[in-house]
Amino acid sequence: NAGVTQTPKFQVLKTGQSMTLQCAQDMNHEYMSWYRQDPGMGLRLIHYSVGAGITDQGEVPNGYNVSRSTTEDFPLRLLSAAPSQTSVYFCASSFGTGDNQPQHFGDGTRLSIL
């Protein structure tokens, strides 16, 4: 059981480039989300999805797009990379947002924007 798989693990981009961070889960979870983790700031929610075809913005959505065409996949797109987007990105999934539905995290993508 793979859980939540994120690719790539590391990426270096130049300012202005675009790219897609991949996230896939094999637990049939309805809820998926993307966070960024910066030193001293914890985890900040970028976008989330409560099911296929449904997405919504989190706390810091600017500069990022998401789509949810299947239950399994939830890619995060950087439209035009900026140095401020240098961060570690985590994808998480859960059955829902209830008390007994913990979020399962991938191991992260470490992204550097030059």
Contact positions toward another protein, by CB under 8 A?
4, 40-45, 48, 56, 58, 90, 92, 97, 99, 102-103, 105-108
Q: Which is nearer to another protein, 17 or 52 (CB)?
A: 52
Q: What is the DSSP string of 69-105?
A: SSSSB--EEESS--GGG-EEEEEEEES-SSTT---EE
Question: Do 30 and 53 touch, CB atoms closer than 8 A?
Answer: no
> Rounded to the nearest whole angstrom, what is the least distance from the CB of residue 16 to another protein in the complex?
29
> Rounded to the nearest whole angstrom, what is the least distance from the CB of residue 6 to another protein in the complex?
8
> Rounded to the nearest whole angstrom, what is the least distance from the CB of residue 17 to another protein in the complex?
25
Written as six digits, the tokens of 47 are 């976008």
